[in-house]
Amino acid sequence: MAASSPPPRVESLSNPVQQLVINGEQVPENYIHRNTDDGPICASFPVTEIPIIDLGLLTSSSPTGEPELEKLRSALSSWGCFQAINHGMASSFLDKVRAVTKEFFALPMEEKQKYSRTLEDIEGYGNDTVVTEHQTLDWTDRLYLLVRPEDQRKLKLWPENPDTFRDTLNEYTEKLGQLTEIVLKAMAKSLSLDDSCFLDHCREGALMYTRFNLYPVCPRPDVILGLKPHADGSTITFLLQDKEVEGLQVLKDDQWVGVPIIPQALLINLGDQSELASNGIFKSLVHRVVTNSERERISVATFLLPHPDMEIEPANGLVNEQRPRLYKKVKNYVSLYFHNYQRGKRPIVHSKFKFIFLLFFISYGLYRKQVAQGNSWAFIEEEHHMVVHWYNVLSREV
C-alpha cells in the first residue's frame, strides 16, 4: 500500500470490560487517556449541589408553580440539567430498576451474550464500536434497548433473566412517558413559548432508548474514564444513578464537578436537540463518568429522541433581531451523533452557523460607513436590524 493511502478502516466490537476484569487481563492500551485536553481525570472533584426541581409544582396551576418554572429555566440555561423530585415514582420502584440492572450484569457471560449486539446494530449487550485506531474506549458495558415505539421493540434482545426484567422495564418506560409530557411542556412554558413547542418533537413515532450501564471496578481510575466527555444527542435524558457509588461529573463554567446522589431523584439532562430548538438559550449538559478502583457502579439512562424524519430547528419565538438564529435545521441528528462520539467530538458544533461572524462583520462595516457619513444612531440601529433580519430569513433556508 502506498505510504500516502489512508489507514485501513477499523470497525469492530470490543470485548466486554467485565470479561477483562474477570480474566485479570492487563488493561489494553486503547482504554488509556493519553492527552487529556479535558483536564486531569480525578474522581475527587468537588461535589456540588445541582438545582432540584419539584415536578409536582411544575404542573400546579397555582402561583406556587411560577417560581419553579423560573428555577427550571435558570437550571437549563446555566447547568443543562436538574435533579427531579416528586416525579411520581416510589423509591422502592427505582430500587427495583436498579436491582434488575445489577442482576442482569451479574449473570454469567454466556447468559448475557445471548443478547449481544452486532456490528450493524446499536441495540443489545456489548461495548463500544471501534471506529478508528486512535479511539479511546470507555470502561463500561451496556445493554441498549429501544423501548418506544412499542411495535419496534426487539424483544429477542430483552433479557428474560432476571424474570422481572421485562415487566420492570415496561413499567419504567410507561412512567417516563408520563414525565416526558410534564417536563417538555414546562420547558416551553418557562421560555414563554407555546406548550407544545418541545412536545411536538416527541409525539408520534418519537424514539425512546434505555441504556443500562455497568462500570466495573477499574485498576487505573487516574487514566481511564467510564464514559468520555459528551453531551447527549437527545431532546432530554432521564438518568437514574447508582444509589451508593458516585462517578458522574458535569462541566460547569469549565470545571468538572461531581453530581451528588439523591437516591429518590432522577437527573434530567438537556440534550443537544433541545439546545438547538431553544436557539442556544438552554445548554446541553457536557458530562463524563470517572471510574472507581473499589466498587462497580451502575446507571440507567433513557434518551428521548424525535422521529428520525422530524426536522428540528430553533423555535420561531426565540429568533429575533436581538438573538439571531444560531443553528441550522437538523434531521436524524443521532446518526451524526454516533459518528462523532466515538471520535471524541461534539456534533452540535456542525449544526452551528459558521457564518454568524459574517453578520457582525457586515454590521460593523455598515456602522463605520454610517459614522463616517455622520448619520444618527437611530439610523445606524435600523440598518443593523435589517441586516439581522435578513440573516435570520436566509439562514432558515440553509
Ligand X SMILES: O=C(O)CCC(=O)C(=O)O
Among 17, 239, 250, 380, binds ligand X (CB under 6 A): 239
Task: Give the residue with the Cβ less far from ligand X, 58 or 169.
Answer: 169
Binds 169: which of ligand X, Fe ion, none (CB < 5-8 Å by kind): none
Part of the chain binding Fe ion (CB under 5 A), chosen from 29-37, 116-124, 225-233, 255-263:
225-233
Going by C-alpha positions, the residue among 125, 210, 207, 194 that lies closest to residue 159 is 125
**Residue 263: CB partners within 8 Å, gap ≥ 6?**
91, 94, 243
Query: Does position 227 bind ligand X by CB under 6 A?
Result: yes
Query: Per-residue string for binding with ligand X, 161-200, x by CB under 6 A?
Result: ----------------------------------------
What interhelical angle do 165-190 and 91-105 show, nearest 10? 130
Q: Rounded CA gap, 292 and 280, in Å?
A: 34
Among 123, 128, 138, 232, binds Fe ion (CB under 5 A): 232
Query: Does position 272 bind Fe ion by CB under 5 A?
Result: no
Task: Give the residue with the Cβ less far from ligand X, 239 or 277.
Answer: 239
* Residue nearest to ligand X according to CB distances in the complex: 299
For the chain, what is the radius of gyration of the CA atoms?
23
Read off the C-alpha cell for 163: 424474570
Q: Kindly identify the residues of this chain, within the stretch 258-297, that bind ligand X according to CB under 6 A.
A: 287, 289
Query: Does position 213 bind ligand X by CB under 6 A?
Result: yes
Number of residues near Fe ion (by CB under 5 A):
1
SS3 of 349, please? Answer: helix
Q: Rounded CA gap, 374 and 368, in Å?
A: 10
Task: Give the residue with the Cβ less far from ligand X, 57 or 224.
Answer: 224
Query: Does position 240 bind ligand X by CB under 6 A?
Result: no
* Residue nearest to Fe ion according to CB distances in the complex: 232
Binds 248: which of Fe ion, ligand X, none (CB < 5-8 Å by kind): ligand X
Q: Rounded CA gap, 99 and 169, in Å?
A: 12
With beta carbons less than 8 A apart as the criterion, state whether 61 and 309 touch: no
Cα–chain center distance at 40: 22
Report the DSSP beta bridge partners of residue 241: 299
Task: Give the residue with the Cβ less far from Fe ion, 180 or 213.
Answer: 213
Query: Does position 128 bind Fe ion by CB under 5 A?
Result: no
Instruction: Annotate 260-299 with DSSP letters as a single string.
Output: PP-TT-EEEEEPHHHHHHTTTSS-PPPEEEE--SS--EEE
The bridge status of strand 81-85 relative to strand 52-54 is parallel
The binding site for Fe ion (CB under 5 A) comprises 232
The binding site for ligand X (CB under 6 A) comprises 211, 213, 227, 232, 239, 241, 248, 287, 289, 299, 301
